[in-house]
Structure 1
Amino acid sequence: MGEIWGVLAAVLSSGLGGTAIGATRYVIGASDALTIGAFRFGIGFAFLLPLALRQRARWPARADWPAVIALGLLFFGLFPILFNASLLFTTAARGALALSTLPLLTMAVGAGLKVEPLTGRKTAGVLIAMAGVAVALLSGLATAPVGAWRGDLLMVGAALCMALYNVWSKPFIRRSGPLHFTTMGMGVGALCLAVVSAIRGGFAAVGAFDGAQWLAIAYLGIFGAAIIFFLWAYALERTTPTRVAISVAVNPVTASLVGAVLLAEPIAWNLIVGLVTVLGGITLATTTGRRCVDPLPAAD
């Protein structure tokens, strides 16, 4: 039962993540990747810290600090820089498709580090889900700005950072819990981004932000950082890295649905077919057949 809750948390996290891509695209042109990341995770840290302090669960042990700090810099430092920078060169649709390589990368990293066995069922589910993403974004992929491949590569690099985080963070989350682990790592990443952004003069541009842009920043901090990444860590605590990562296929589909609801964009046949295909792939990869049960990695 705990694993089911983990998968559901990952799907909800990725669903909210689809809206974060749109919010990032909205504000990225008015600032830079470092500054947007500093605001996003700084607000997220400020939101999570009081909740973590109220809980009696322990913080990561001192012996785990070097690893937790390194993972925080990887996921809340390098990842948002690559993620935000990619959207300067490519479209949201192409960026979402590049990010959907996360399950394949996580599966490869997990198998390479002997953390999670590679099975035919998971591989098939991941490939089906990625095909669903491509179908859902069919129209958005037809047009691309000049040099979009740079953004695509940056987003694949961001996905690789996330894949490494998925595999390496699991034992530390199990020892300290998802809330305290996420809060500490997010605080480290936010501090690093804020310092570098201040040195580069990135905060100078925020004086020109209008009300809508500040609302987008607040949304990124609370929903796009605190809630999304807490749910992600919660999921990693309860199920395997690949089963968590495959949920990212929901991300671009959700973004398209939000556009249809809020911006009156038409819901085309490819979006419906893509959504059904994505859900089918996730179901295949996160369930076990009668003769094949994917063993979970042993707790450290």
Structure 2
Amino acid sequence: MGELAGVLAAIASSALGGTAVGATRYVVGAVDPLTLGALRFGIGFLCLLPIALAQREAWPARRDWPRAAALGLLFFGLFPVLFNASLLYTTAARAALALSTLPLLTMLAGAILGVEALTARKSAGVALAMGGVALALAAGLADAPAGAWRGDLLMVAAALCMALYSVWARPVIHRSGPVRFTLLAMGTGATCLGLLAGIGGGFAALPGFGWPQWIAVFYLGLFGSALIFFLWAFALGRTTPTRVAVSVTVNPVTAALLGALLLDEPVGWNLVLGLVTVFSGIWLAVTAGKPAGTAAPHKR
């Protein structure tokens, strides 16, 4: 049940992530990527702080502070800058497809670093889920602005940051807990982004925000930061990095479904078939048996 709970938490995190892409796309033109990242994770930190203080789970041990801080800079510092900047150059559909390389990158990183064995069934599940994303978004991929490849590459770089975080964070989460580890890592990243945004004058754009922009920012802070990344850390504490990462293929499909519900965008056969293919790939990857060569999380 513990591993199933982890997979379900990862799917929920990725489903909410699809809405975060839309909110970021909406507000990213009004503020620079550094400032938006500082606002998003600063609000997320403040939302998680009372929960972390009220819980009884352990704080990361002092020997884990450097790793938690470094992971915070990687995931809550560099990742959002790359993620936000990519949406300045490319479409939401292309960015979502680029982000769906995360399971492949995580699977390769886990195998190279000796954290997780590479199996044929898991690889087939990842490939099937990624194919489902491409199928679901096929209609929107042709509408690319000039220079969209820059945004695509930035999003792949963001996915690589997330893959390395997923692999390297798991042992620390096992030794402490998801809420307090996420709080420490998120606080480090938000502080760094806030200092850089302040030096660069990024906060000067905030007086020009209207209610729609502030609603989008607070949505990103509460749901697109605190809840999403708590669920992600919770999942990493209960199942393998690849099984968590493959759930990100739900992200672009839920974004497309949200567009159909709220913006009356058409739902074609490719979206329905893509959704079925994505969940088939996730099922194939997460039901793979644990091979004898799978490395256990480090307890040192």
TM-score normalized with structure 2 length: 0.98
Does the aligned pair in 2 maintain the 1:10–1:232 contact within 8 Å?
Answer: yes
Root-mean-square deviation (Å): 0.9
Deviation at 1:206, TM superposition (A): 1.1
Tell me the CA shift for residue 131 of structure 1: 0.5
> Which blocks of at least 5 consecutive residues in structure 2 are unaligned?
none
| Greater alpha carbon shift after TM alignment, 56-65 vs 39-48 | 56-65
1:202 equivalent in alignment to 2:202: yes
What's the counterpart of residue 230 of structure 1? 230
Identify the residue that residue 20 of structure 2 maps to in structure 1. Answer: 20
Aligned to 2:32: 32
**1:263-274 residue pairs with structure 2 within 5 A?**
263-274=263-274
How much has 1:14 moved relative to structure 2?
A: 0.2
Q: Percent identity?
A: 68
CA offsets, 1:73-115, max 9 Å, x none? 0000000000000000000000000000000000000000110
CA distance in 1, matches of 2:200, 2:278: 41
Corresponding residue of 2:118 = 118
Tell me if 1:298 matches 2:296: yes
Paired with 2:290 and 2:63, the residues of 1 have a C-alpha distance of 34
Matches of 1:94 and 1:222, distance apart in 2: 25
Whole-angstrom CA distance in 2 between matches of 1:162 and 1:244: 11
Partner of 1:139, secondary structure, is helix
Shift of residue 294, structure 1, vs aligned partner: 3.6
Gaps of 5+ in 1: none
Instruction: Indicate the residue corresponding to 2:275 in structure 1.
Output: 275
**1-side partners of 2:295 and 2:238: how far apart?**
11
Q: What is the distance in 1 between the residues matched to 2:262 and 2:131?
A: 26
User: Following the alignment from structure 1 to structure 2, what is the Cα–Cα distance between the partners of residues 273 and 237?
Assistant: 32
* Counterpart AA for 2:264: A
Q: Which amino acid aligns with 1:106?
A: T
Shift of 1:298: 1.6
**1:29 aligns to what SS in structure 2?**
helix
Q: What secondary structure is seen at the aligned counterpart in 2 of 1:265?
A: coil
Q: CA deviation at 1:266?
A: 1.5
Q: Which amino acid aligns with 1:57?
A: E
Q: 1: distance between equivalents of 2:42 and 2:64?
A: 22
Is the 8 Å Cα contact of residues 240 and 297 (structure 1) preserved in structure 2? no
1:293, distance to aligned residue in structure 2 (A): 3.5
Identify the residue that residue 129 of structure 2 maps to in structure 1: 129
Matched, 1:162 2:152: no
Query: How is 1:1-300 mapped onto 2 (pairs within 5 angstroms)?
Result: 1-288=1-288, 292-294=289-291, 297-299=295-297, 300=299
4+ aligned runs moved over 3 Å, structure 1: 292-297
**CA shift at 1:262, angstroms?**
1.0
TM-score, length basis structure 1: 0.98
Contact kept in structure 2, 1:22 and 1:255, CA below 8 Å = yes
Partner Cα separation in structure 1 for residue 248 and residue 191 of structure 2? 27
